[in-house]
A and B are shown apart, each in its own frame.
Chain A
Amino acid sequence: MTAGTVSGTAAAEPGAQAPRRPVNFGIVVFPGSNCEYDAHHALSTFPEAAPHYLWHKDHDLDGADVVVLPGGFSYGDYLRTGAIARFSPIMQEVAAFARAGGPVLGICNGFQILAEAHLVHGALLQNRGLKFICHPQYLKVERNDTPFTRRFEVGQVIQIPVNHNEGNWTAGSESLRKIEEQGLVVFRYCDEYGNVTDGANPNGAVDNVAGIVNETGNVMGMMPHPERVCEAELGGTDGRGVFGSLIDHTLEQ
């Protein structure tokens, strides 16, 4: 599964300016991951991105500028979602990379793994409706000063699909207070007009939290799948903002 670096120039338009250097996206593949190809494909539509896979048993990140933990059912969701994947060898490297300020994006199961690894706050419970949910979802952007959301406006309403059974984010009341005080919430579930209401909350997540960052802002977990809305033919392009922001952020370093 350790495919080498794949050039992301397939979608580059003729005459497009050559990037200074490709932004190296390392997509971690756990046993049971199933969105790694989607993430790889979505990233390959960015001329500036060079996505490659990282196997969970690897001990180095192969020069990744950005680490992506994709969606899926790592280790069959045994015990709790993300609970076993968190102890994979590569997670030590991911944690060290995150501590050093490297951007880490966890999508869906990747968010669950980040939460279990305590790289972001809280935990993901089963959806309050007990149903697996899979539908387009409106999100309100709360911050655009993170490496993941620079291409959005604060208050912007975007649409990115959700696809999960355990997306009911929660945290203890004390940590929730701190999280809100520090403004760690990046995306909230909302209706099409941007109203953050209980009715627009698909899974019961506290305060409609759909995505949060850590205190230093370089690790983000989100339940919705931005990699699935990166091409108009596939129903939307709002997901491009997330990966595009990461590219902008890295090229600026």
Chain B
Amino acid sequence: MARVAVYVTPKAGILDPQGVTIERALPALGFQGVSEVRVGRYITLEIDGAEGDELNAQVESMSRRLLANPIIEDFFVEIVDDREYPHESCGGSEEVIVGEENTPRKAGEHAASPWTAADPYASGQEQTGSEAEGNEDFEKGKEGVITPEDKPPRKAGEHAGSPWTAADPFAAGKEEVDKENREAGKE
């Protein structure tokens, strides 16, 4: 039994209105310096009866034909066993690295991530008219951003690995927010 994760992301150059909207919303919460927000889809599968090259070919084919639309989307496949399964790792284990006490996370053995070696964006260099429009919209949007004056800009995390591992930018941000919330609560 192989466990498979397929990440589907909008191709580079394709306007992602959801990503743009989220990007505009984050500064309102005090998160500065956030850019390139893209909203994709994370699909998990279990596959029986195939392994190795055959499994790879099967997943590649199903991703290309159904899970993603290669005209507008890139996909990135991760084939993992039980130990490495990102969702499983949320249950706690020997290697707790970030997060609150009740939701420990375990570092996965993710050799690659969508943002590193196997960067799905790298393969999609097609530019379309909507990109220019999207950026223009974004630039306009920036001017209207409301930043809470009392909150200092956030420090960006080190984006070295997958979002589920040590350098998880989301987890780091959460920690910081939690800390601030606690401090705010004391006042």
Contacts and interface: CB of A to CB of B under 8 A. Distances in A.
A154 interface: no
Given A80-B69, A83-B66, A198-B133, A126 B17 contact: yes
B51 to A, nearest CB: 26
Contact of A116 (B13, B69, B128): B69
B130 A204 contact: yes
A168 B15 contact: yes
A170 B7 CA distance: 21
Contact of B15 (A115, A198, A204): A204
B56 interface: no
A125 interface: yes
Interface in B125-153: 126-130, 133-134, 137
B18 interface: yes
Nearest to A169: B130
Contacts of A198: 133
Contacts, number: 58
Given A79-B66, A83-B66, A172-B71, A126 B126 contact: no
A171 B71 contact: yes
Given A79-B66, A172-B126, A128 B71 contact: no
A122 interface: yes
Contacts of B45: none
B59 to A, nearest CB: 16
Given A83-B69, A123-B72, A173 B17 contact: no
A129 interface: yes
Interface in B102-140: 126-130, 133-134, 137
A87 B71 CA distance: 18
Contact of B128 (A115, A127, A128, A173): A173
Contacts of A127: 17
B93 interface: no
B172 interface: no
A176 interface: yes
A170 B17 contact: no
A174 interface: yes
Contacts of A170: 14-15, 71-72, 128, 130
Contacts of B127: 173
A153 to B, nearest CB: 27
B1 to A, nearest CB: 24
A125 B127 CA distance: 15
B15 A176 contact: no
Given A79-B67, A122-B71, A123-B72, A172 B21 contact: no
B21 A130 contact: yes
Residue in A116, A171, A172 whose Cβ sees the most chain B Cβ within 10 Å: A172
A248 B13 CA distance: 42
Contacts of B18: 126, 130
Nearest to B65: A87
Interface string A108-141: 0000000110000011011111100000000000
A123 B130 contact: no
A42 B72 CA distance: 34
A129 B129 CA distance: 16
A170 B73 CA distance: 12
Interface string A199-231: 000001011000000000000000000000000
A87 B65 CA distance: 10
A116 B67 CA distance: 12
B111 to A, nearest CB: 28
Given A168-B130, A173-B127, A204-B130, 13 more contacts: A115-B71, A123-B72, A125-B15, A128-B15, A130-B21, A170-B15, A172-B71, A172-B126, A172-B128, A173-B13, A173-B126, A204-B15, A204-B133
8 contacts: A123-B71, A123-B72, A125-B14, A128-B134, A130-B18, A170-B14, A173-B126, A204-B133
Interface of A: 79-80, 83, 87, 115-116, 122-123, 125-130, 168, 170-174, 176, 198, 204, 206-207
